[in-house]
Amino acid sequence: MDGSSGLSGESNPRVTGSVSPLTPGPEEVMRYRSPLVSRYASREMAFNFSDSKKFQTWRRLWLWLGQAQRSLGLPITEEQIQEMEANLENIDFKMAAEEEKRLRHDVMAHVHTFAHCCPKAAPVIHLGATSCYVGDNTDLIVLRDGFDLLLPKLARVISRLADFAERYAEMPTLGFTHYQPAQLTTVGKRACLWLQDLCMDLRNLERARNDLRFRGVKGTTGTQASFLQLFDGDHDKVEELDRMVTSKAGFKRAYIVTGQTYSRKVDVEVLSVLASLGATVHKICTDIRLLANLKELEEPFEKEQIGSSAMPYKRNPMRSERCCSLARHLMTLIMNPLQTASVQWFERTLDDSANRRVCLAEAFLTADIILSTLQNISEGLVVYPKVIERRIRQELPFMATENIIMAMVKNGGNRQDCHERIRVLSQQAAAVVKQEGGDNDLIFRIQSDSYFAPIHAHLEQLLDPKSFTGRAPQQVLKFLKEEVIPLLSPYQSKMDVKIELDL
């Protein structure tokens, strides 16, 4: 689908980040404020779920409906259309709140408020429509625009990590399975494991975004009966009305069948891909936290940043911890639309309204900040090669034993005799490491044993870490070339944005 609702937050700045936590006024400190908005999320995403965006979109939907109805022959004047168009942003929020308190109906409160500033257009505002005409269609516009904000951010994270993977494609590092030392891999290859999941998320978000349709002009139970009456039974005009409004909203297609609402399975699909993104980010940032403990890799650390109030030496991976914390929240949100979709009786119930106000906005706001934070992390990752090399030296001798046995056999040795000698030396070296806290001295023991004299001159070559990384460097380059770069192509014009976090 193409286009947008015609509403936007701020222009896309060169540098963007979370909203600066403004000093709250006396009244604000007495009320709960969601930290997703007050502390974390970008201005653009916060605006996307704002009352201003919501109610301006309602008015645009009434305008588009009036325009389409007029063009199809209903007695609506150009003056009425112009009056609505002139008052799209002229919203008296105080009056709307008072009307809602009186009427106990948010849509009718805004119909009255819009009509108050559009007295000539008042008779035709919301003509033939039900509340979900503005409510559900606005939600679909906001979801689409939310994806449009998230997708370039995710693409930038992928781009930054792709640069990182290419830079360190050949740098050997100790691989882990079960968080126990395993065979060697490379720093870049490990980053490609992160990238592969992120690329899956990008494709999933694109699919969910493009699968969204407009609810359109369907009436109270989705039958379009009220519009069929307005057009004196002309089915073609009712279908054309639906098509015209759908097009004005920037959608290519509308759902052919709906109840009073669009199917709440749509919300399940939307939050499923966001929850899946949360799982990916949690995994990546957990890896970074573990590597920070090993002192092999660190997230950016500001010059005056404090890691601990009690321990001045600490450099806590607080950004990665924040991502994990918020990602867990994002992953749990999928349960809400799942349960809501399962209990939508017949054409609709209203027990979906209150929770959707919370979970849909929170999912996008949370995804927004974890992507901004992960971009900031990926733009400043610090690798410590010497620490990585030291850890390899501690483990590589054990991994090299098979290569040493093969080299001895090539020089006339007996495989079983060589295996037994290395087994004994390996256990002695392991005892030094585990019981005495010393360094792995297996190679020194092999160098001191005359039995291994035929290969002493080749030990350095046999212990070259790059000979243990297999095709990891080649895999990195092939993966970036064939999968990552083509995936990022549509986002090239939005890559030049650097993230600076305020917190």
Query: Of 178, 450, 489, 493, which one is the catalytic site residue?
Result: 178
Query: 308 catalytic, yes or no?
Result: yes
> For residue 323, which of 174, 469, 195, 157 has the smallest C-alpha distance?
157
* Residue 13 confidence (pLDDT): 34
Q: How far apart are CA 205 and CA 323, in angstroms?
A: 19
User: How many Cβ atoms are within 10 Å of 53's Cβ, its own excluded?
Assistant: 20
Residues in contact with 422: Cβ distance below 8 Å, sequence separation at least 6, in sequence order? 401, 404, 405, 446
CA gap 467, 184 in Å, rounded: 9
Question: H or E stretch including 382?
Answer: strand 382-383
**What pLDDT was estimated at residue 419?**
92
The four Cα atoms 113, 119, 121, 127 give a dihedral, to 10 degrees, of 50
Give me the amino acid identity at 410: K
* Distance (Å, whole) CA 264 – CA 267: 5
Q: Is the dihedral of CA 115, 118, 122, 124 positive or negative?
A: negative
One-letter amino acid at 76 equals I
296 neighbors 388 (Cβ within 8 angstroms): yes
**Distance from first CA to last CA of the chain, Å, rounded?**
36
Residue 489 CA, distance from chain mean position: 18
Residues 198 and 156: beta-carbon distance below 8 Å: no
Tokens of 433: 């490491």
For residue 398, the model assigns a pLDDT of 84
> Tell me, what's the pLDDT at 24?
63
Nearest to 365 by CA among 276, 265, 278, 490: 278
Q: Is the dihedral of CA 72, 77, 78, 81 positive or negative?
A: negative
122 secondary structure, DSSP code: G
Question: Are the C-beta atoms of 156 and 16 separated by less than 8 Å?
Answer: no
Rg (CA), the chain: 31
Of the candidates 406, 496, 487, which has an alpha carbon nearest to the alpha carbon of residue 201? 487
> 20, 308, 448, 467: which is the annotated catalytic residue?
308
178 is catalytic: yes
Q: Judging by DSSP bridges, how do beta strands 382-383 and 498-499 pair with one another?
A: unpaired
Pair 72, 140: CB distance under 8 Å = no
Give the per-residue pLDDT at 315: 77
Strand partners, 311: none
Q: Which amino acid is at 331?
A: M
pLDDT at residue number 23: 58
CA dist., res. 476 & res. 483, Å (int): 10
Distance CA(96)–CA(453), nearest Å, equals 91
Per-residue model confidence as pLDDT tens for the chain (503 residues): 444 444 544 333 333 444 444 456 667 778 888 999 988 889 999 999 999 999 999 999 999 999 999 999 999 999 999 999 999 999 999 999 999 999 999 999 999 999 999 999 999 999 999 999 999 999 999 999 999 999 999 999 999 999 999 999 999 999 999 999 989 999 999 999 999 999 999 999 999 999 999 999 999 999 999 999 999 999 999 999 999 999 999 999 999 999 999 999 999 999 999 999 999 999 999 999 999 999 999 998 754 444 544 554 457 899 999 999 999 999 999 999 999 999 999 999 989 999 999 999 999 999 999 999 999 999 999 999 999 999 998 888 888 888 899 999 999 999 999 999 999 999 999 999 889 998 889 889 999 999 999 999 888 888 899 989 999 999 999 999 999 999 999 999 999 998 878 77
> How many CB atoms are closer than 10 A to CB 238?
23
Beta bridge partner(s), residue 172:
186
Q: What's the CA dihedral at 79, 228, 225, 126 to 10 degrees?
A: 0
Cβ within 8 Å of residue 360, ≥6 positions away: 49, 139, 142, 143, 267, 270, 271
172-205: burial string, b at 16+ Cβ within 10 Å, e else: bbbbbeeeebeebbbbbbbbbebbebbbebbebb
What proportions of the chain, in percent to the nearest 5, are helix, strand and coil? 65, 5, 30
Question: Residue 162: left (phi > 0), alpha (psi -120 to 50), or beta?
Answer: alpha
DSSP symbol at 18: B
Cα–Cα distance measured from residue 366 to residue 381, given in angstroms and rounded to the nearest whole number = 22
User: Rounded to an integer, what distance in angstroms lies between the CA atom of residue 341 and that of residue 117?
Assistant: 38
Alpha carbon 72 to its chain centroid, in Å, reads 42
3-state SS string over 124-187? HCCCCCCHHHHHHHHHHHHHHHHHHHHHHHHHHHHHHHHHHHHHCCCCEEEEEECCEEEEEEEH
- pTM for the complete prediction? 0.89
What local confidence, expressed as pLDDT, does residue 2 receive? 47
Residue ranges and CATH numbers for the domains of the chain are: 45-127 (1.10.275.10), 132-303+314-383 (1.20.200.10), 401-462 (1.10.40)
How would you class 26 by CB atoms within 10 Å of its CB: exposed for 0-12, middle for 13-18, buried for 19 or more?
exposed
Q: Rounded to an integer, what distance in angstroms lies between the CA atom of residue 51 and that of residue 144? A: 17
